[in-house]
């Protein structure tokens, strides 16, 4: 069986490739088994056609930070997992798992579920700054994953999301720029450090495995306890 990992060239995706080992195949803009621009739906569909069945899982790790163009953020963080999943569904075996990397910043999105559903169903996102587009893209990704979990339960395919806090990846500086360096530093102060890519990769690998067979339609917050500390200590 094969697990497809997007964003495999660096950060969490690279750590996940190492964690999974020989079963993993990578997809990225460069230095990957499959090279693809995830902002281009036609290119995604073409690459998906070349990926051999059967697949036992998809890990949607690739994403753009809030410093990118807002339209590109929504395209890569939300539309790409949707298009790629739809194209690969016929190649997924019963018992497979789909995991999408979201973010704890999704909690900051103030859109109602009806608005998120409209965006998922093809509605256009309003013009907004990159940081808000990032929050929106991740909130919509969580909602899409939940909907997919319900839709695919009859095919025995599980769908979950993982929401990290700050992670020591090549784009951490982008998050410092879009969210605020002081806020990012404060997160590390509350829990002792930022996550390492392997910290998040291990969570994703677990959710992809049969050991997580009874976890479906869930968002797992992998933030080192940051939100718990904030809730208790303020």
Q: What is the pLDDT of residues 15-62, one digit of tens each?
A: 999 999 999 999 999 999 999 999 999 999 999 999 999 999 999 999
* Residues 142 and 79: beta-carbon distance below 8 Å: no
Segments of the chain assigned E as strands? 2-6, 24-28, 34-35, 55-60, 92-101, 158-164, 219-222
Query: Among 33, 43, 38, which residue's Cα sits nearest to residue 8?
Result: 33
Tens-digit pLDDT profile for residues 124-157: 999 999 999 999 999 999 999 999 999 999 999 9
Domain 2-226, CATH: 3.40.50.720
| Domain extents in the chain | 2-226
C-alpha pair distances (Å), 5 with each of 17, 195, 204, 218, 233: 7, 19, 11, 19, 37
Does the pTM surpass 0.95? The reply is: yes
């Amino acid at each position: 069986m094969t697990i497809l990992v997007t964003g495999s060239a660096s950060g969490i995706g690279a750590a996940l490739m190492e964690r999974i080992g020989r079963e993993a195949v990578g997809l990225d803009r460069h230095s990957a088994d499959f090279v693809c621009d995830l902002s281009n739906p036609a290119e995604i569909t073409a690459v998906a056609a070349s990926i051999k069945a059967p697949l036992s899982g998809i890990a949607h790790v690739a994403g753009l930070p809030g410093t990118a163009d807002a339209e590109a953020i929504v395209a890569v963080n939300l539309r790409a997992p949707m298009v790629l999943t739809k194209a690969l569904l016929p190649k997924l075996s019963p018992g497979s798992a789909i995991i999408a990397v979201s973010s704890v910043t999704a909690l900051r999105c103030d859109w109602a579920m009806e608005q998120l559903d409209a965006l998922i169903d093809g509605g256009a996102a309003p013009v907004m700054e990159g940081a808000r587009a990032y929050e929106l893209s991740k909130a919509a990704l969580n909602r899409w994953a939940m909907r997919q979990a319900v839709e695919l339960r009859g095919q025995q395919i599980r769908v979950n999301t993982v929401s990290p806090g700050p992670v020591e990846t090549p784009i951490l500086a982008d998050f410092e720029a879009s969210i605020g360096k002081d806020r990012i530093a404060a997160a590390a102060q509350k829990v002792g450090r930022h996550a390492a890519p392997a910290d998040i990769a291990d969570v994703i690998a677990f959710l992809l495995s049969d050991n997580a067979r009874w976890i479906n339609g869930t968002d797992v917050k992998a933030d080192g306890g940051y939100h718990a500390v904030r809730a208790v200590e303020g």
